Each structure stands twice: as C-alpha cells, then as structure tokens.
Chains A and B, each alone.
Chain A
Amino acid sequence: MRIVVQEQPFDFGAEAAAFATNRHDMGAVVTFTGIVRDISGDLSAMEIEHYPGMTAKALEKIAAEAASRWSLGDALVIHRHGRMVPGEMIMMVATAAPHRADAFEAAEFLMDYLKSRAPFWKKEIGKDGSAWVAAKDADEDALTRW
C-alpha cells in the first residue's frame, strides 16, 4: 500500500500504469481521480488545507480497513493539498484485486471514507470572495452502507 500526501501535481497516467504493471496475480485494477470542478463558472481556485500530523495516519488506517474487508492485492492513495485551479487533479485512488468486484468496492469504500474521515478541508476561491465547502449529510450517510 502506498499513501502519498503532497502539494505538487501528480502524473495520473504514470501512477496508474506503474500501479497496474507486473501484477500477475491481480485480474483487476480500478482507479478513481478527483478533479477541481467549476460548475458555476465563478471558481478561480480551490485551496485544500490539511492536518499534517494526522493526514497520512488517517489515510493509512482507511486503506488498512479496505485491505481487511476485501481481497485486495494493493492500494494507492494520492491526495494533494494547497492551491489548485479548475481542471487540476486533487487526488486519486487505485485498487488491485484478483477480481473486479473487490477492486471496485474497495475503491468506493476508500473514496467514501477519505471524504469524511481524512483531515482535509476545501475552500472555494471565487471571483467575489471565498467560502469553505460544507460537508454534505449524504457524505456521512454514504459511510453507513459499509
């Protein structure tokens, strides 16, 4: 398992290819990538704050939980912090498993948990001001299905 928390961009293609290479016992690799989106047309940037002492630990705990629940060969989580503009990649997860159901489910589990249990906070910087993104009840509810 590999957990990376960094400010600089990551190369999604290279990370996905490296993750999927030389896996003779894994039949499935699933990847997910989160991108800064600008729905209103007003977003200048997204600033992501995190809790340096806790972030990696929290992500490792979530990944270990995924590995204990599904037959998982490997998992990768990369999450950025700092300032990003619309279109930039914020984070990615990748899961490798012998069969695709495990890879898909574990990737969804990782996403659900790191949305509400990893110490990141998003702030949207608009043309007329900035605002912290509020957590959605649906994000918390999503955890109950696991």
Chain B
Amino acid sequence: MDVLYFAWVRERIGIPKETVDTQAGTVADLVAELAAREDRYAAAFADTSALRVALDQELSDFDASLTGVREVAFFPPMTGG
C-alpha cells in the first residue's frame, strides 16, 4: 500500500510517500512496524496522540482495520482556515 506523510511527519521521516509491503492488520500494527525500522520513523511515531491518520483519503483511527485499504496518510492535527 502507499503510505503518505505530511507536514512535520514528512520532514522527520524525510520522504513524502513510499510503498510499503505489509501484513499489518490495523493502523496501530503498521505504526509499530514502521517505528521499528529506523530512528527517524521511531521519532515521527513516538507519540501517536499527536498524529492523525487518513485511510483512502478519509479521516480514521489508529485501531482501524487496513483490510482493502490502498492509501494510508499520517499527519499532525490540521491547521486550515
């Protein structure tokens, strides 16, 4: 699946997008998998209460299932307007 990063999450991880081959069942499982990769991922995912997640461009939760999901995006709380 495609994993996208925005704002400081993108800066901390160092890339805007990557394709991840994963068997993770939920968003939280995917986060654990990514955080275990390298320090930059661990730093970005250190506090998931400071993060939001969207699944296929819809806001979702960290306990949501990834079944059938093609695009996951991680970002800080939004600051539009």
Contacts and interface: CB of A to CB of B under 8 A. Distances in A.
Contact of A135 (B6, B10, B77): B77
Interface string B1-16: 0001011101000000
B7 A114 contact: no
A118 interface: yes
Interface string A45-86: 000110101100110000000000000000000010000000
- Interface residues of chain B: helix, strand, loop or mixed (majority): mixed
A29 B35 CA distance: 49
Interface string B68-81: 00010101111111
Interface string B44-81: 00000000001001110000000000010101111111
Contacts of B78: 115-121, 135
A46 to B, nearest CB: 10
Nearest to B80: A120
Size band of the interface chain A makes with B: 20 to 34
Contacts of B57: 51, 53-54, 57-58
A119 B8 contact: no
B7 A49 contact: yes
A121 to B, nearest CB: 4
A3 B32 CA distance: 37
A123 interface: yes
Interface string A106-146: 00000100111111111100000000111100011000000
A91 interface: yes
B23 to A, nearest CB: 24
Interface of A: 34, 48-49, 51, 53-54, 57-58, 79, 90-91, 111, 114-123, 132-135, 139-140
12 contacts: A48-B80, A49-B6, A49-B7, A51-B4, A51-B73, A53-B71, A54-B58, A116-B79, A119-B78, A119-B80, A120-B81, A123-B7
